[in-house]
Structure 1
Amino acid sequence: MNEKEPPFLAIDYRILALDIKTDVNEKTIDSSTILKLKLVYSYLLGLSKTCEKVYPEQAKMGKTLGIGSRQVVGRCISLLESLGWISKTSRTGTSNLYTVKTVEQILEGIPREVKEEEKEFHDFNTGIVLIEDNDDLPW
């Protein structure tokens, strides 16, 4: 990465479009937690694409993502493990080793009707709008 460019987080639209309606450990996941767990997943996925081994500290993840304390990140990681999106190997010290599934691996385990909704969302958001020089915007 260029020293002058700030780091950024890319989030796959397919993950954002997933409507997670599930109970984990007999508790319903609220929308705020769902957004946080998608952020944590995307952060870990991004690291796994650039590093062979991913072992960020939970407190640092919380601060970097602006989602709260180590405990908040820990709950998100537990939920991600319950959903099967990641697996965690405990290590000594302050960090764990994470194995992160790809978006494609996650989508393979989701019922077809949810994938169809996600596809419609993705197709809608990737359309090309051509605008002539002197024409108004179409919206």
Structure 2
Amino acid sequence: MKLTHTPLRVSIGAFILNSGLGKRSLEGQSAEAVHGMASGAIPQLKQFEPDRFAKLLSRGEIALGAALLNPFVPSLLAGAALTAFGAGLVQLYLKTPGMREPNSLKPSQAGIGLAKDVWLVGAGLTLMLDALTHRRLVR
């Protein structure tokens, strides 16, 4: 990991790790709410029971947060995982009714919390592109 990646990886990694740790005990109605929103945007997620989905989401966030915080995980790999995770959240924003103003990408008041997750895609792509361009310059 490059030293210049440290602030980005630590700040995002700590945030996502904390989010995953907070979801460890999701069950019942809370798990159903998270599962319902996610499966509304990504229908393939309906195959999971809500409690199982919540556990998988928690574990995924914990793993991603830990990977970002671990300096031995290459930035290309951490960036790819972050980009995929962020893209899923952006898809949730784009496909969930009421998150955007009609006929617009502009977020509604309810959608601001999800719309901001586009920065995760940008950060992930930055880590990946920097790792890829750095490899070419070094060769």
Task: Give the greater-gyration-radius structure (CA).
Answer: 1
TM-score (norm 2): 0.34
Q: Write 1 or 2 for the structure with the bigger share of strand.
A: 1
Q: Write 1 or 2 for the structure with the bigger share of helix.
A: 2
